[in-house]
Chains A and B, each alone.
Chain A
C-alpha cells in the first residue's frame, strides 16, 4: 500500500479544520493569527500534493507565492497587534469592540 493523493487531501483537510476551529474558538489574537497560518499551510500541502501527483510544477510555484503573502500578512498583522496593545493593553478580541479608543 502506497501513500496516495487521498491521504494528503484528508490530512490537509484535518489541519484546515483544526485551524478553522482555532479561529472560531480562541479569543487571543495571536493564537487566531497562528490558526490562520495553520490553514495556509494545509492549503500549501494540498497544492504540493496535487503538483506531485500531476507531475506539474505550477502548484509548487504557487506555494512560493502563498508563503510570500503569508509573510506579508504576518508582518502587517503583528504590527497591528502591537499597535492595539499599546493603545488598549489587551489582545483579547472580545474586548476590541470599538473602532476608536
Chain B
C-alpha cells in the first residue's frame, strides 16, 4: 500500500513538475507548482514529518504561491513568451540530469557507499511531531533560529525598499 502510494504520488509530482516548465502562460505554471508542492507535502507525511507537511502547505502553497499568483496577475502580460531560439540549453540540462543520475548510481552500486539506515523506524516517526521539533529548535538550534528571523527582517526591508524606489 505504501509503495503504491509512493509511486502514485511520484508520478503526479513529476508530471506536474514537467507541466510547470512547459506551460506558456505563467498562471498555469503556478497552479501546477501548487500541485507539486501538495505531493511533496504528502511525501513528508509518509516520512513521518507531519509538522513540515503542514508548514509546506501553509508557507509554500499558501503564501509563496499566492505571492507568485499575485505578481503574475498584477503584471498583466499580453503576449506569451517566445519559445524559439533555445536549442542548446535543453541539451545542457539533460547533461546535468544524466550526470546527477550517474553520480547517484555510482554511489549506490559502488561497493563502499552503503546508504545509511536504521532498523527500527518508531523513533523516526516521533521526530516530526511538533513538540519534538520545537524542543530541538529552541535548544540546540536556537542561534540559527534567531539568524533566520534577522534574515526575514532583512528580506522585508529589502522588498519594501525595492517596491518604493521609483516614487521617492
Q: Which residue numbers of A lie inside 8 Å of B, CB to CB?
A: 1-11, 13-22, 24-28, 30-31, 33-35, 37-38, 41, 44-45, 48-57, 60-61, 63-65, 67-76, 78-83, 85-87, 91-92, 94
Q: Are B158 and A79 in contact (CB under 8 A)?
A: yes
Partner of B93 from the list A20, A34, A60, A67 (CB cut-off 8 Å) is A20
Alpha-carbon gap, A11 to B12, bound state (A): 11
Give the secondary structure class of A's interface.
helix
> What residues of A have a CB within 8 angstroms of the CB of B115 in the complex?
4-6, 53
Q: Are B2 and A75 in contact (CB under 8 A)?
A: no
Number of interface residues of B (CB under 8 A): 82
Alpha-carbon gap, A10 to B3, bound state (A): 14
> What residues of B have a CB within 8 angstroms of the CB of A31 in the complex?
20-21, 23, 26, 29
The verdict on B106 contacting chain A, using a C-beta distance below 8 Å, is no
> What residues of B have a CB within 8 angstroms of the CB of A74 in the complex?
64, 67-68
Scoring B44, B85, B154 by chain A CB atoms within 10 A of each residue's CB, the highest score goes to: B44
Within 8 A of A (CB), among B1-35: 2-3, 6, 10, 13-14, 17-18, 20-21, 23, 26, 29-30, 33
Q: Are B52 and A48 in contact (CB under 8 A)?
A: yes
Alpha-carbon gap, A11 to B40, bound state (A): 10
Partner of B68 from the list A6, A26, A33, A45 (CB cut-off 8 Å) is A33
Q: Are A55 and B121 in contact (CB under 8 A)?
A: yes
What distance in Å separates the Cβ of A14 from its nearest Cβ neighbour in chain B?
A: 6
> What residues of B have a CB within 8 angstroms of the CB of A20 in the complex?
93, 96-97
Alpha-carbon gap, A61 to B21, bound state (A): 29
Q: Are A53 and B29 in contact (CB under 8 A)?
A: no
Q: Are A1 and B47 in contact (CB under 8 A)?
A: no
Q: Are B159 and A75 in contact (CB under 8 A)?
A: yes
Alpha-carbon gap, A35 to B32, bound state (A): 12
Q: Are A15 and B159 in contact (CB under 8 A)?
A: no
What distance in Å separates the Cβ of A11 from its nearest Cβ neighbour in chain B?
A: 5
Q: Are B71 and A78 in contact (CB under 8 A)?
A: yes
Assuming the contacts A20-B96, A24-B89, A24-B92, asked whether A65 and B121 have C-beta atoms less than 8 A apart, the reply is: no
Assuming the contacts A53-B124, A67-B60, asked whether A21 and B93 have C-beta atoms less than 8 A apart, the reply is: yes
Alpha-carbon gap, A71 to B152, bound state (A): 8
- Measured CB to CB, the nearest residue on chain B to A74 is B64
- Measured CB to CB, the nearest residue on chain B to A7 is B6
The verdict on B116 contacting chain A, using a C-beta distance below 8 Å, is yes
Alpha-carbon gap, A101 to B93, bound state (A): 31
Alpha-carbon gap, A73 to B81, bound state (A): 24
Alpha-carbon gap, A38 to B117, bound state (A): 27
